[in-house]
Amino acid sequence: MVVAAFTWTEFAQQLAAGIREGAIYAGLALAIVIIYRSTRVINFAQGEMATFTTFIAWSLMNHGLSFWTAFPIVLAIAFTGGVAIERIVIRPVEDAPVLTIVIVTLGLALLLNGLTSVIWGGANRQFHGPFSTRTIDVAGVPVSVQDIGIVLVSIGLVAVLALFFRFTKVGLALRAAAVNPDSSRLVGIRVGWTFALGWGIAAVLGAVAGMMIAPVVFLDPNMMQTILLYAFAAAVLGGLDSPLGAVVGGILLGVTITLLGRYVGFLGSTLKLPAALMLIFIVLLVRPSGLFGRVAVRRV
Amino acid sequence: MSLLELHGVEARYGPVKALHGVSLQVADGEMVAVLGANGAGKTTTLRAISGTVRRSGEVVFAGKKLSRRPDSTARAGIAHVPEGRGTFGELSVWENLRLGAYTRRVNLKQEAQRVYKFFPRLEERRDQQAGTLSGGEQQMLALGRAMMARPKLLLLDEPSLGLAPIVVGQIFAVLERMKSDEGISVLVVEQNASLALAHAARAYVLEVGNVVVEGTSDELRANEAVRKSYLGY
């Protein structure tokens, strides 16, 4: 076993890299949780939706738009696309058994993946992100501006969503419809539309994750597949029902994987994924509903 | 003038028919009770009105044919407090009240003050998760949430179920005030027939999905069969 020489500076660097990884997982995990909470559906197309919208961003930038001009346009397209997918593809099978809907989302993933390849080709593409890759000194630790940017954008997005769900009428309606659709209808909420809105929000989260990670990993039609796997793991770790859990789970997973890969010599980059999943498995043995999974408080 | 009219309303759960052509009326500002044994179709009658069960037949509300979608009936001015109260257990008391006014653009704090006047307990419990309230408090919350909608018609399913008599008394006192102060019509389903007849102006008795007796509360109390079956004396 090779034991790497340990320095605190390097540890802090690895930690920063882990948090950046985790921020991406957290965004995608949050998208999965938002859809799961309202419709009990695991959206397997989440990754391909993100890739597709990232390619749209790439095209816009290829036509001369700057990243920050393309960014809101892509978010709008993602939102509209997410709502449309729910209305057109998911709605007709809404009352079908969950397995049917899962298969539909798998089909959707394949469809979007194929569509991406047809439109943009299968090759790797360089995606120029908004942040510089040079490093700056943060309390004696060199951290890349890109990593800081990715984390800040993710935090910002999560904060905006948290405020939206907590303080706006529509956000409250989304939460209400997710926990109790029948009562929601009785207060006048159009529950079907809240589901569509949830898909729209999830698509936006995916688009942001895609545009943040593409500069790090190169853009290709299968870019999000491994990341989606990590995001699923993060969502389950946090508790599939809990938005906070998704975010915490994502960061924890990113940090764990990065540190395992670096410091547990025999794991390296090939075994760090199974090792991380093993850890999650152990956590779930102790807490089957995840770290933040709902423990219902009810008095009758 | 009738606020609500049902003409030959039928409803079914899958192959089982629960209502066989129910007709009834509720006038503006009137409290009407629906009595009957378990399984007579009382709850289904309310659900047929609010659209939470599939129905056929005609329902006219405020002079217009009523939609069969629950979100639309809510928007039309009908507040249905269902069996089990239908509060959002995972949301706070305040959030439940906010949801009550979902279809209206109003000053939420002011509207909530109106509810707190009827149910001071809800103000004390404002930030508490609704699922942790006692049964009586949950019933207050369910009513308070309905009040936030300023409905024309309140559909109430078994408001006394599982509650201590003193709480039941409070709740019916509030209903009386809502009726007199705000002119709300109430259609209430009750197991406790003497309680219902004490507050309602008129009542309908259901048996296996049909209206078998109707009349004013005084008439029903004088009716031999009703007295024996539902009032127990």
Position A115 scores a pLDDT of 95
Give the integer Cα–Cα distance in Å for B198 and B98: 32
Tell me if B68 is assigned to some domain. Answer: yes
Radius of gyration of chain B (CA): 17
Over residues A188-245, the pLDDT tens digits come to: 999 999 999 999 999 999 999 999 999 998 899 999 998 999 999 999 999 888 899 9
Chain B: nearest CA to A31, how far in angstroms? 21
Could you tell me if B106 and B164 lie in one domain?
Answer: no
- Show the domain range for B99: 88-150
Tell me if B6 is assigned to some domain. Answer: yes
Tell me if B61 is assigned to some domain. Answer: yes
* Residue A177 at interface with chain B, using a CB cutoff of 8 Å: no
Give the integer Cα–Cα distance in Å for B48 and B204: 16
* pLDDT grade for B39, boundaries at 50, 70 and 90: confident
Whether the predicted pLDDT of A161 surpasses 80: yes
Surface of A (112-171) touching B: CB under 8 A: 169
Could you tell me if B18 and B55 lie in one domain?
Answer: yes
Position A3 scores a pLDDT of 53
Chain A: residue whose CA lies nearest to B138: A300
Whether the predicted pLDDT of A296 surpasses 70: no
Interchain CB distance below 8 Å, B74 and A297: no
* pLDDT grade for A1, boundaries at 50, 70 and 90: very low
B152 touches B143 (CB < 8 A) = no
* pLDDT grade for B125, boundaries at 50, 70 and 90: very high
Chain A: nearest CA to B28, how far in angstroms? 21
> For testing the chain B interface, which of A186, A294, A300 should be mutated: the one with the most B CBs within 10 Å?
A186
- Show the domain range for A230: 8-286
Phi-psi region of B21 (alpha: psi -120 to 50; beta: other; left: phi over 0): left
- Rounded to the nearest 5°, which phi and psi values hold at B71? -65, -30
A121 DSSP 8-state letter = -
Position B229 scores a pLDDT of 82
Using CB atoms, pick whichever of A169, A173, A185 lies closest to residue B70.
A185
Could you tell me if B155 and B135 lie in one domain?
Answer: no
Domain count within chain A:
1
Chain A: nearest CA to B233, how far in angstroms? 32
The DSSP annotation for A67-108 comes to HHHHHHHHHHHHHHHHHHHIIIIIGGGTTS-HHHHHHHHHHH
Taking contacts as CB-CB distances below 8 angstroms, the residues of chain A near B87 are 183
Q: Mark which of B103, B121, B150 sits at the end of a domain.
A: B150
Could you tell me if B193 and B142 lie in one domain?
Answer: no
pTM comes to: 0.89
Taking contacts as CB-CB distances below 8 angstroms, the residues of chain B near A95 are none
Tell me if A293 is assigned to some domain. Answer: no
% of chain A with per-residue pLDDT over 90:
65
Whether the predicted pLDDT of A267 surpasses 80: no
* pLDDT grade for A291, boundaries at 50, 70 and 90: confident
Chain B: residue whose CA lies nearest to A174: B99
Domain count within chain B:
2
- Rounded to the nearest 5°, which phi and psi values hold at B110? -65, -45
Beta bridge partners of B6: B24, B59
Give the integer Cα–Cα distance in Å for A257 and A50: 22
B166 touches B128 (CB < 8 A) = no
Could you tell me if B102 and B20 lie in one domain?
Answer: no
Position A10 scores a pLDDT of 87
Chain B: nearest CA to A37, how far in angstroms? 13
Mean pLDDT score, B20-43: 93
CATH number of the domain where residue A140 is located? 1.10.3470
| Beta strand segments in chain A, E | 135-138, 141-144
What is the average pLDDT score of chain A? Answer: 90
A48 touches A207 (CB < 8 A) = no
Mean pLDDT score, B54-79: 94
Tell me if B217 is assigned to some domain. Answer: yes
Whether the predicted pLDDT of A71 surpasses 90: yes
Cα three-residue angle A166-A172-A177, rounded to 5 degrees: 140
* pLDDT grade for A300, boundaries at 50, 70 and 90: very low
